[in-house]
Structure 1
Amino acid sequence: MKLMMSCGWRRCRWPPSSATSISNRGCFILHSVIRICFCLVMNGMVILLLTEPAPFAESLKRSNDEVGIPRSGSSNGLLYQRDLVQIELLVKDIKRKRSVYFIRVHRTFLWGEMGFYGINVVRVRNFKDFFGKEPQEGRSSGDGDVLEFLGLDLAPIMQASLRPSRIACSFRAVEILVKSITCVTKTHRFEEVSDIENLSKSLLELFRLDVPGMCVVTRRKLELQIDNTEVDARPGVAVETEVVAVETEVDGFIRLVVQIDRSFKDRDHDPEAEMIASGIAAYQELLGKYENFLCESPPEVLLLPGIVMRGTCPTFYLMRLSRKMVECVGQGRQPGFSTRVDQYVLPGLVPPSSWDAIIVPEHRAHIAQCLESLKSFIGTTYADEWMGWLHYFVIVSQLKKTVHASLSNPEKLFENTGMT
């Protein structure tokens, strides 16, 4: 194989022939050494970018090079990327024997560095210690769709040629859920692409996690404030409150976040950290609503449940988020305390079949118990307390505005009562 190389104004061949001059051979060897050194230097720069991008970016900025690394991409942030770094080398002014290289780093954020902010995930093995109650045995007779789903034989779903319509379902909600399970099972088995969010949404709705006053939404838009920079923290699925007061726009209070595990396609994907980031963004959004519309002191601590869907298997979390920690994340400061996030994993899971946990009747029944117990954190008792306070603050704010407006015109204060 012959390779043409350019060196100076001459051209030489490799391997060199016997007629090739010594100077040409020397030029080729020198050129090859320069190219090898250049490749080694560039590889070192890439490795440096993948491990510590911030110091590298600052050094290049000081040398007037063009670098597209946002400030929040430092290694002490919650967001970090290792896999989607594209480096473009633009060579200019070749004719004048000068090459000007601009390094543009395009970064798609990956949640990962939680240790800086003192976020610790603790695995809780006992059901009661996590949910605060013993698992409920059985279901009420009124939930016929849930009973039908728990009694289905989903083992045929593992057959690649199975059509979801072959599993007979009496309830439309169960039929939709079975179709979603079939699609998701094929997804991680054959690395196909499907809408995993639909499975999570259908599962939450079947088990009535959209309690009165709540709704299940997909791809809820959230902005995470981290290191004085706004970053997208969109969860796959969320349970949020419905409209409380249109005039004050106090609505969309998130009570549960669900993140999708896509590590079957991307091993560096960290859905657990993404879920925690979504929870922090939800708390920041709530603090903003208190500041802009309620004129009252926001809660100092928020207990927010979360779920990571790994195939058809959910893992449950309870995030205890404090206002001080959330403010530290927004400002990029390291807090002097730790934040605990409890984790509950279904017992008896054996990889890699854990992706198909909902197919197994025992795991499916335990998932139902977990979802039923999860309502205590987002259901009537807990949600009504928050919603009651929100209603109270809204009414007080509106009353203050009415009284203030009436003081300037006292006649309007009694026009509806008939008093003069």
Structure 2
Amino acid sequence: MGTCLTGILLMNSVCWAKFERASLGDCKVAALSWVFRKASIPWDWLLRVSVVLILKRYGITEGVLAFDESDRARSKSTKRIYKVYKQKHKGSGGYVNGQTIVLLLLVTSSITVPVGFFFYMPDPALKQWDKEDKRLKKSGIAKKDRPIKPERDSAYPTKTEIALGLLKEFKVAHSLIKIKGVLADALYGEKAFMDEAAKESGGSQVISQLRKNQNIEYRGRIRSVESYFNSINKGIDQIIRVRGGKEIKVTVSSARLKVSSHSKKRFVIALKYDGENYYRYLVATDLTWRTQDIIQAYTLRWLIEVFFEDWKLYEGWGREAKQLDEEGSSRGLILSLLFDHCLLLHPEQIARIESKLPAYTVGSLQRKSQMDVLLEFITSLLEFPDPGDKLKELGELIKSMCFN
């Protein structure tokens, strides 16, 4: 395990061939692959136990749970890469084959820790039905003459079902951690998810977003949330504090309103950061919280974006998918997340965080660790009776590893 994590540190990839080259042939591809596939390693417990270790080391007893998903484009030939499907590519506007991972993160006053994941894929039968239904509808075929919508296959749960499953698993695994709130983007801003998440988290505040055209009821009249906040309840400027103590300027307005699609009253907030032109609309389940408390909690969502940026660039998973099938993808992802945990337990990172200073970025900490490895290599080289001869021997070994 230590070899694989060191390999991710040095090569920024989960690839046995690269690990073999980095070890100068000391670790063979076949051996690493066998351990990954066949050894009796409790993979399902590794991430859970690692989370326990981190929480104990930092003395964490409470935090906010946040859901988000990440799409990763993969190669065109993806027959054995787990749950790959056709995705819209944001950069080009075209389509690519890719994987989607729903991640659960615990955000605390000091650190952000990935604590769970699940691979999402739309139900192929439902997707095909939807495509055909749209084609027939466009052709003028009446609904009664079109095929009936098939039942969803349980092997392809929705993102909200996945999120609730991850929440339940966290509660079972870390029952002593107090969940102060649950954060999710607009995809999860539906009645069923928010009510169930509040229930599963022990009555915690659940914060999501509404679309600007969603309806609310005010004084017996139904109007869009955008119309209400732009014409009736206009925002005022405030200063809020984000994690780390930085103060930022926002424009805020709020009200306890009945959300039509939720069939109940929610705490609805219009929020605009300094420099933005349009509001985003937050929705929360617990009506007893203050407006500022909800906004402060929601700012923690930006820390998730920081995690995703670091994870994709530096922690192996984002660059390549060398491991095949379900166990390959799941175990490769576990290794990548364990590497993130390792960096949280780096002595200099611990010292930084416990001194209430901003944490080192993953990139800077990784580069420092790479230099530490190089210095350790040089130190061990100088301990040989004839370092020059040993260096020549290693040079020949490196040449044979690179060109064979």
TM-score range, shorter chain: under 0.3
TM-score under structure 2 normalisation?
A: 0.22
Task: Flag the structure with larger Rg.
Answer: 1
TM-score under structure 1 normalisation?
A: 0.22
* Larger RCO (CA within 8 A; separation ≥ 6): 2
- Relative to its length, the structure with more strand (as a share) is 2
